[in-house]
């Protein structure tokens, strides 16, 4: 079996992980941090809004069962991509909407889907704020954050 990887930031990573775990073809999800300048950041450091990291979900998936396009569709469904550096009550750059791509094909698909969604008029005059960036080092979040919704029932930070 071939396993591919996708990484998305869509606000607080607890609820995002929960949503992706429900998809057939998703083999594993891990919450963590990406996009910042500090090595091995802690949750407290990321929440300080000073490391530049986003809370993200790293998704390992079977492309024979689910496509990257379908993962992106879910990504755009589980949050409001027009909000800049926030989602709901969670405010700060760590909650930004971001797609981290691992190759040119993922970048191309993400750019096209973002453009098509913007052009669709679904969000009216609001602009999609989702950033599309090359994947960087992924730093796994502390164990208590993994599968947090399953453990506690809480979906927001």
Residue 86: burial class (beta carbons within 10 Å; 0-12, 13-18, 19+): middle
Query: Measuring CA to CA, which residue among 155, 89, 98 is closest to residue 131?
Result: 98
Report how far residue 26's alpha carbon sits from residue 32's, in angstroms, rounded to the nearest whole number: 17
Residues serving a catalytic function are: 12
* Helices and strands, number each (H, E), in the chain: 5, 8
């Amino acid at each position: 079996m071939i396993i591919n990887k996708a990484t998305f930031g869509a606000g607080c990573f607890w609820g995002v992980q929960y949503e992706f775990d429900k998809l057939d073809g998703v083999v594993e999800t891990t919450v963590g941090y990406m996009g910042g300048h500090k090595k091995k950041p802690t949750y407290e450091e990321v929440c300080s809004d000073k490391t530049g990291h986003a809370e993200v979900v790293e998704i390992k998936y079977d492309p024979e069962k689910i496509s990257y396009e379908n993962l992106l569709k879910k990504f755009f469904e589980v949050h409001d991509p027009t909000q800049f550096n926030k989602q709901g009550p969670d405010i700060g750059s760590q909650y930004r909407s971001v797609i981290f791509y691992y190759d040119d094909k993922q970048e191309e698909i993400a750019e096209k889907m973002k453009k098509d969604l913007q052009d669709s008029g679904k969000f009216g005059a609001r602009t999609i704020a989702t950033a599309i960036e090359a994947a960087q080092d992924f730093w796994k979040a502390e164990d208590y954050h993994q599968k947090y919704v399953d453990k506690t029932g809480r979906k927001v930070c």
